[in-house]
Structure 1
């Protein structure tokens, strides 16, 4: 029994430092975060659609906890959407700040292409949804649902498929997704308020001001900032503005440029610490309690027949691709902007289709747009999942084709036929190289002729004059 208790204590005990660092580093990669998100979504769908488990999913999702006196007696699903997702938006705010002060968004000339691509990639899906529902007589409330790109999923697909793709392609997608996140944040803040409470909003603003002053004074310590962040979040929630805006605001306030002698800025350090929490807990739990739509054969048919759901699918698959690619092409065509070295238009088209993966934020906006209509909310969730799956599959095919081309180019660049330790591509302008290659080809041709003669002689020696074998 003592040995058993020891094993149990070891199993349930704290991880060793190497194990903890390994798990944290894994959660910081787009691939692992995207896989966890996918696993959570599949689990939610299975949990919500298996008859014997469906009631437990609904019971847990709608179970309320939290202090009623503070206006925070929320369901588990609500806590995941408004609470945990604030952590994701906090990290997104830091990423946006870093791009603004040290990344591609700092230089307007470098930022113009992904920024215009992101804006067009939000406008065109909204237009596609609106036109579809205007023609079909559906609700226009969900126009914003297909406007968002899921940065975790999109970068995970690119990381898994695009092993040989140019690094400029990932930078383009990352910048596009950051701007897309900012657009989604503004849409949530402006178009989906819930009865503004100016007292709570004023308190949240004061809390943010205190947060900013403490940062500028160099005050350090999680025991100062975590309680303050919780207060700001609670006030923002009660103000009627979506509580995730608090996370974005605090992320944007962090300093992301390095002072002399600093190895990492405060924003970089905090993002490094918080990203595993976001990728490993916050986003998967949100997906677990948001993606659980009841899906049947009839529901899948409705996705392509009802104007609201069809508008979401077309917005993600068609609108995103046309918007991102079209915005990029028009900008290059009519301005001095140009594609990064090493990129081509098929690459941009593949990334444009990848931007149609609108999982996390699209689900959130869908819940806000159709709040109070549980049936339509579930149908829109199914449409988001369907559209994201189609976009991911289409983008995967295109990226695999482009990846195969770039892999072949890499192999050509590394080829060393003369075995002199220098890739042949670097010797093509050297006259001695051409002479050496001609000699090699001549030697190979002579060897082939010699082998052919030997084979012919052997064939003649093994047969008699009438052609029969001896």
Structure 2
């Protein structure tokens, strides 16, 4: 007699350990999203005020050393340097999720990875078809990757406003999808937006990267040693012609997340220490609270007064971005999730309805940080078309946020009741009973923040 295999649940509640980790991450990103919003609004107000020339002068102020290809404007330092911190944290998140997180098994990883891939491919297709239909020309097509990224900080800030009672599985899915989305985006940047390649500089970058990996793998975490190696890696990658943020991802991916049997005597951390979690704990607030908002401040200051917004939204590039972010993301994420539920053993979790997935899919249309970066790479910082692209990204992100809020608010009351029931801990062991009722959950300990 054979036992019938139980169907996999889409967006099921993660383990208690993973929920604790995701909750901490989301709290930081939500606060970061609020700061990001303030920075973007401040830049828009300044760029459309009588003092707009002062804003442009600050953004274009050059600081650096030319022989190292580091004679950059403050805007470029924010895009190339500060965003490297953002992508370093993204690299840490990605490695942790796939090696020790809830996505270490292919069955759990398949849905967010496929949804992220579809959420990149479908918007790119929508953008391309729209630009071609509007007669945008080959130069306009350079912006095909602008609407492919989801801004997790803005998306989570919207969730914080419309209600904090969405299921943890749904929130974990959004975080994972955004991380994979960022990895795909940085891969696109490295492959398609590299103007020229200096092979010797790229090969030299492997030396400090290798030393960085050697030290962190042996739990030798000394800031004054690792920081110069990270900066050297970033500098050489930047000099090679590949966008410098790629260095951030590479550095993040070499950091260990698993325990070792033993460590050398010179190690500063124990063999059991999750180095990735330790570094992420220190750098995530810097990334979400400073690096990304500063980039947003210098990237989103576009002039919209005097008919600027009307002119921008007549540009085929801007039309393509709005359609791709709002409709393309919806079709890509929702469609791929529906296909997984329809043609595999996966089923939607009992706590969810498809309206939740529609709202989540609309939320992924909030593209900001990486979208603005790709726009600058595609059309050149300060160009007219780059300004049009930035306006379109802002308009599309606001529209996606409004539509997602309208959909998700209707479910918020239902999830609030579910949330209150899930918090019951009748046996007082520190783990909500809802997390103990699922098979395969470790009931032997309470909250674990080591990852």
- TM interval, shorter chain, is 0.7 to 0.9
Q: Tell me how far apart the structure 2 counterparts of residues 28 and 166 of structure 1 sit (CA, whole Å).
A: 15
Q: Is the 8 A contact 1:27 1:280 kept in 2?
A: no
Q: 1:121 aligns with which of 95, 119, 122?
A: 119
Deviation, 1:296, is 2.4
Q: Counterpart of 1:432?
A: none
Q: 2:83 aligns with which of 55, 72, 85?
A: 85
408 and 340 in structure 1: CA distance in 2 versus 1, 3 angstrom threshold: closer
Q: Is the 8 A contact 2:59 2:73 kept in 1?
A: yes
User: Is 2:328 aligned against 1:319?
Assistant: yes
Q: Tell me how far apart the structure 1 counterparts of residues 157 and 381 of structure 2 sit (CA, whole Å).
A: 33
In the TM superposition, what whole-angstrom CA distance separates every residue of 1:114-157 from its partner, at most 9, and x where no partner exists? 11111111111101110011011111111100000001111222
Which secondary structure state, in structure 2, belongs to the residue aligned with residue 220 of structure 1?
coil
Which secondary structure state, in structure 1, belongs to the residue aligned with residue 301 of structure 2?
coil
Deviation, 1:413, is 9.1
Deviation, 1:160, is 3.4
TM-score by length of 2: 0.82
Deviation, 1:269, is 0.5
Q: Tell me how far apart the structure 1 counterparts of residues 203 and 272 of structure 2 sit (CA, whole Å).
A: 37
Q: Counterpart of 1:451?
A: none
413 and 388 in structure 1: CA distance in 2 versus 1, 3 angstrom threshold: closer
Q: Tell me how far apart the structure 2 counterparts of residues 223 and 302 of structure 1 sit (CA, whole Å).
A: 50
Matches within 5 A, 1:50-69: 50-51=49-50, 53-69=51-67
User: Is 2:147 aligned against 1:146?
Assistant: yes
Q: Is the 8 A contact 1:350 1:399 kept in 2?
A: yes
Q: Counterpart of 2:158?
A: 157
Q: Counterpart of 1:104?
A: 102
412 and 200 in structure 1: CA distance in 2 versus 1, 3 angstrom threshold: closer
202 and 262 in structure 1: CA distance in 2 versus 1, 3 angstrom threshold: closer
Q: Tell me how far apart the structure 2 counterparts of residues 411 and 110 of structure 1 sit (CA, whole Å).
A: 26
334 and 30 in structure 1: CA distance in 2 versus 1, 3 angstrom threshold: same
Q: Is the 8 A contact 2:313 2:388 kept in 1?
A: no
Q: Which moved more, 1:374-383 or 1:298-307?
A: 298-307
Q: Is the 8 A contact 1:31 1:155 kept in 2?
A: yes
Q: Counterpart of 1:32?
A: 31
Structure 1, gaps ≥5 residues long? 1-24, 415-470
Q: Is the 8 A contact 2:146 2:371 kept in 1?
A: yes
Which secondary structure state, in structure 2, belongs to the residue aligned with residue 105 of structure 1?
coil
Q: Counterpart of 1:180?
A: 181
Matches within 5 A, 1:234-383: 234-259=235-260, 264-296=273-305, 298-371=307-380, 374-383=383-392
Q: Counterpart of 2:206?
A: 205
Q: Tell me how far apart the structure 2 counterparts of residues 122 and 109 of structure 1 sit (CA, whole Å).
A: 21
Q: Is the 8 A contact 2:355 2:408 kept in 1?
A: no
Q: Counterpart of 1:10?
A: none
Q: Is the 8 A contact 1:141 1:369 kept in 2?
A: yes
Deviation, 1:406, is 2.1
Q: Is the 8 A contact 1:317 1:390 kept in 2?
A: yes
Q: Counterpart of 2:394?
A: 385
413 and 367 in structure 1: CA distance in 2 versus 1, 3 angstrom threshold: closer
Structure showing greater relative contact order (alpha-carbon pairs closer than 8 Å, 6 or more residues apart): 2
Q: Tell me how far apart the structure 2 counterparts of residues 103 and 164 of structure 1 sit (CA, whole Å).
A: 22
Q: Which moved more, 1:171-180 or 1:357-366?
A: 171-180
Q: Tell me how far apart the structure 2 counterparts of residues 27 and 161 of structure 1 sit (CA, whole Å).
A: 15
Deviation, 1:229, is 0.6
Deviation, 1:302, is 3.0
Deviation, 1:70, is 1.4
Q: Is the 8 A contact 1:28 1:276 kept in 2?
A: no
Q: Tell me how far apart the structure 1 counterparts of residues 91 and 214 of structure 2 sit (CA, whole Å).
A: 18
Q: Tell me how far apart the structure 1 counterparts of residues 221 and 416 of structure 2 sit (CA, whole Å).
A: 47
Q: Is the 8 A contact 1:145 1:362 kept in 2?
A: yes
Q: Tell me how far apart the structure 2 counterparts of residues 105 and 137 of structure 1 sit (CA, whole Å).
A: 43
388 and 59 in structure 1: CA distance in 2 versus 1, 3 angstrom threshold: same
Q: Is the 8 A contact 2:330 2:358 kept in 1?
A: yes
Structure 2, gaps ≥5 residues long? 1-23, 262-269, 424-451
Q: Counterpart of 1:76?
A: 74
Q: Tell me how far apart the structure 2 counterparts of residues 291 and 173 of structure 1 sit (CA, whole Å).
A: 24
Q: Tell me how far apart the structure 2 counterparts of residues 116 and 220 of structure 1 sit (CA, whole Å).
A: 35
413 and 256 in structure 1: CA distance in 2 versus 1, 3 angstrom threshold: closer
Q: Counterpart of 2:41?
A: 42
In terms of fraction of residues, the more helix-rich structure is: 1
Q: Is the 8 A contact 1:154 1:354 kept in 2?
A: yes
Deviation, 1:104, is 3.2
- The higher radius of gyration belongs to 1
Deviation, 1:258, is 3.8
Which secondary structure state, in structure 2, belongs to the residue aligned with residue 223 of structure 1?
helix
246 and 166 in structure 1: CA distance in 2 versus 1, 3 angstrom threshold: same
264 and 212 in structure 1: CA distance in 2 versus 1, 3 angstrom threshold: closer
